[in-house]
Homo-oligomer: A and B are copies of this chain.
Amino acid sequence: MKTVSVTVPTVALRAQIMDHIVGHITAGEWASGDLVPAERELMTQFGASRMTVHNALRDLTSRGFLTRRKGAGTYVAEPRPYASHFDHLDIIEEIRSRGGAHSAKIIRREIRMPTKEEAAEFSSDGPLFHAVVLHSENGEPIELEDRLLDPVSIPDCVAVDLSNRSLFSILMLVRPYREGSERVRPVLLNADERKFLGVRAGEPALEIVRKTWTPERIITIARLLRVREGACLIGQISSGGQAC
């Protein structure tokens, strides 16, 4: 006889408890508002300590599957409303992920004084960096980027090479963990825009207006006009789980 050491595929107790509960929810056996077994009950059911059970339930709560009320109990959460998710906010990344070749042409790049409206948007009378860049995929223009930037955020923004890196990705490096808003709508292009983008009148275009800010101030406002492949946005829809 010989003793052989075997790697037992141990599944963490916490994960077992979480799977057990999520399983019942997604299977529809436990509906929204239903009471979930109490911590002390799950302890005996799984032979786990209270800490383990509690951490499993806390995790599921932060993911949006459960709601808990001190003194009352643990309940299956209401499914949160659906939301759609779009990645690839950076046109250069988007093109690369499709396997295309990106090129950019700088149409304008200057530091100038803001108009009254712009000064109000940025809550500042200081000069603004204004860039207009035409992005192309495999030689075909797909996005016209018109961007205003508070130079305070990127002091050397005038020196930046706009053709290889997008201003967007540079902002991400300098100022991660920010927030913003986005407005998407279909528009008709004017003659200048059509000329730059190389499309004929009547060709539908997508306008994306994006504002991003730090807790203190607006950093940048971008107006993106997209045509051809660029005018098509692909997103994912999700709900229920996940804290977003």
Q: Contacts of A26 on B, CB cut-off 8 Å?
A: 177
A236 to chain B, nearest CB (A): 6
Question: Does A55 interact with chain B (Cβ within 8 Å)?
Answer: yes
* Interface SS, A side: mixed
Are B81's CB and A232's CB within 8 A? no
Are A79's CB and B187's CB within 8 A? no
Are A177's CB and B81's CB within 8 A? no
Question: Does A138 interact with chain B (Cβ within 8 Å)?
Answer: no
Are B51's CB and A234's CB within 8 A? no
Residue with the highest number of chain B CB atoms closer than 10 Å, among A59, A90, A231, A233: A233
Question: Does A181 interact with chain B (Cβ within 8 Å)?
Answer: yes
Question: Does A151 interact with chain B (Cβ within 8 Å)?
Answer: no
Are B177's CB and A236's CB within 8 A? no
With contacts A177-B26, A181-B236, A240-B177 known, is A187 near B204, CB below 8 A?
A: yes
With contacts A84-B85, A85-B244, A87-B81 known, is A182 near B237, CB below 8 A?
A: yes
Interface size of A in residues (CB-CB distance below 8 Å): 55
A67 to chain B, nearest CB (A): 14
| One of A111-119, A126-134, A139-147, A205-213 at the interface | A205-213
CB within 8 A of A177: which of B25, B183, B188? B25
Name A188-208 residues within 8 Å CB distance of B. 188, 202, 204-206
Q: Contacts of A185 on B, CB cut-off 8 Å?
A: 204, 206, 231-233
Question: Does A242 interact with chain B (Cβ within 8 Å)?
Answer: yes
Name A66-124 residues within 8 Å CB distance of B. 79, 81-90, 93
Per-residue contact bits, chain A 140-182, to B (CB 8 Å; 1 contact, 0 not): 0000000000000000000000000000100010001111111
Q: Contacts of A51 on B, CB cut-off 8 Å?
A: 51
A189 to chain B, nearest CB (A): 10
With contacts A59-B62, A179-B238, A239-B177 known, is A83 near B81, CB below 8 A?
A: no
Are B84's CB and A237's CB within 8 A? no
Residue pairs across A and B with Cβ atoms less than 8 A apart, 16 shown, are A81-B89, A81-B90, A82-B87, A83-B86, A86-B235, A177-B240, A179-B238, A181-B236, A182-B235, A183-B232, A183-B233, A183-B234, A187-B204, A188-B204, A212-B237, A242-B244
